[in-house]
């Protein structure tokens, strides 16, 4: 499970030779979530709308988010708009167009879907996979796109009441779903995931999941279980997946990762053992790499391990470890 510096995420997450101490996720949001506007619908009719189609976001030919006016014909059959907040003082929303079915859809879902979809009513833009866009979106666009993707995905998966099974409907400008039958209220969920840089004797422990592209390795990661601390989750996941015992653990930073709704908690753990015994259900392979090998990886020159993708927190952690910054 994988999972960016000045654009909401960890902007320099690859082999960037100019990685700076300040290249960390911003502590303040890039836009105003404007919770005070959620109680009524007065923002509707004024908000610029970001269309989302089956998790993909609409972008212009120049690579920026494409915003539509609320009365745009492409939005006629869309789900109700969700208020993201305000940007530059103006309301912005997301709207799910997943009911639209374009022709010639790809039959298989790839690790990173390279296909683009063009809506006939929006000829100047196209829907693209957000994972490949995060490091290139300007300004607040990355955070807005991530929030829009996460919220539209949450609504799509929570149409029925978990208490009585009846239909639910959006409320609070899309930040709740309510059951008309029993009155139960659901709120958007974010799942905490630990992603850990495990080190021992100047080496890093990397693994690869089944189905990943050839040569792709990354930090180990896993969901935090109920009643579990972040530190305990790091130790448990590493032990389950590789058999390596971890001692001291410290938190470094976090990254929102809306695929579909995770918060990646970046940590560093000190391994107490060396032997690797992989769980074949969780991993295809795992290995220790020393500092010289990691330098090759980050430079894209390693014979069997790819450089990490820019964007995910894993590559950011690796790059900082290589420079002695974690």
Rounded to 10 deg, the angle between the 313-322 and 291-298 helix axes is: 130
Average pLDDT over residues 226-242: 98
Does residue 277 carry a pLDDT above 60?
yes
Residue 275 pairs with which residues in a beta bridge?
A: none
Phi/psi at 97 (nearest 5 deg)? -105, 25
Is-contact 149 57, C-beta < 8 A?
yes
Cα–Cα distance, 313 to 13 (Å, whole number): 7
Average pLDDT over residues 36-59: 96
Task: Answer left, alpha or beta for residue 175, where phi above 0 means left and psi between -120 and 50 means alpha.
Answer: alpha
H or E element in which residue 186 lies: strand 185-186
Contacts for 180 with CB less than 8 Å, ≥ 6 apart: 166, 167, 168, 169
Does residue 31 carry a pLDDT above 60?
yes
pLDDT in tens, 55-109: 999 999 999 999 999 999 999 999 999 999 999 999 999 999 999 998 877 665 5
Contacts for 134 with CB less than 8 Å, ≥ 6 apart: 4, 7, 9, 142, 145, 146, 311
Average pLDDT over residues 228-239: 98
Does residue 180 carry a pLDDT above 90?
yes
Burial pattern 70-97, b for ≥16 Cβ within 10 A else e, equals beeebbeebbebbbbbbbeeebbbbbbb
Least confident of 5-9, 54-58, 239-243, 290-294: 5-9
Is-contact 220 235, C-beta < 8 A?
no
Tokens representing residue 94 in the block:
């997301």
DSSP for 257-283, please give it: ETTTTEEEEEEEEEES-------TTT-
- What is the reported pLDDT for 204? 98
Mean pLDDT of the chain: 89
Q: How many CB atoms neighbour CB 157 within 10 A? A: 11
- What is the reported pLDDT for 148? 97
pTM: 0.88
Q: Enumerate domains of the chain plus CATH numbers.
A: 35-157 (3.90.79), 158-188 (no CATH), 191-322 (3.90.79.10)
> How far does Cα 10 stand from its chain's mean position?
11
Is-contact 246 234, C-beta < 8 A?
yes
Does residue 270 carry a pLDDT above 70?
yes
- What is the reported pLDDT for 10? 44
How large a percentage of the chain has pLDDT more than 70? 89
């Amino acid at each position: 499970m994988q999972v960016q510096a000045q654009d909401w995420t960890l902007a320099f997450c690859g082999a960037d030779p100019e990685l700076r101490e300040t290249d960390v996720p911003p502590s303040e949001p890039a836009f105003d979530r404007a919770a005070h506007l959620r109680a009524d619908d007065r923002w509707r009719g004024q908000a610029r709308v970001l269309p989302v189609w089956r998790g993909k976001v609409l972008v212009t030919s120049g690579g920026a988010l494409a915003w539509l006016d609320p009365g745009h014909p492409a939005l006629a059959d869309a789900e109700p708009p969700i208020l993201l907040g305000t940007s530059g003082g103006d309301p912005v929303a997301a709207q799910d167009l997943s009911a639209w079915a374009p022709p010639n859809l790809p039959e298989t879902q790839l690790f990173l879907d390279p296909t683009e979809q063009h809506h006939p009513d929006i000829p100047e833009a196209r829907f693209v996979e957000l994972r490949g866009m995060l490091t290139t979106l300007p300004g607040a666009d990355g955070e807005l796109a991530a929030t829009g993707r996460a919220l539209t995905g949450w609504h799509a998966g929570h149409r029925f009441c978990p208490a009585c099974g009846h239909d639910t409907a959006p409320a609070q400008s899309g930040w709740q779903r309510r059951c008309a039958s029993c009155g139960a209220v659901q709120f958007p969920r974010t799942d905490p995931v630990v992603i850990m840089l495990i080190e021992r004797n100047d080496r890093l422990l990397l693994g690869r999941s089944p189905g990943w592209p050839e040569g792709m390795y990354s930090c180990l990661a896993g969901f935090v279980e109920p009643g579990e601390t972040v530190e305990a989750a790091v130790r448990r996941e590493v032990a389950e997946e590789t058999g390596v015992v971890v001692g001291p653990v410290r938190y470094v930073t976090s990254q929102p990762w809306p695929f579909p709704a995770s918060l990646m908690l970046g940590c560093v753990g000190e391994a107490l053992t060396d032997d690797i015994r992989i769980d074949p259900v969780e991993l295809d392979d795992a290995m220790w790499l020393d500092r010289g090998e990691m330098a090759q990886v980050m430079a894209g020159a390693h014979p069997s391990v790819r450089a990490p993708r820019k964007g995910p927190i894993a590559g950011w952690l690796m790059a900082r470890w290589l420079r002695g910054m974690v």
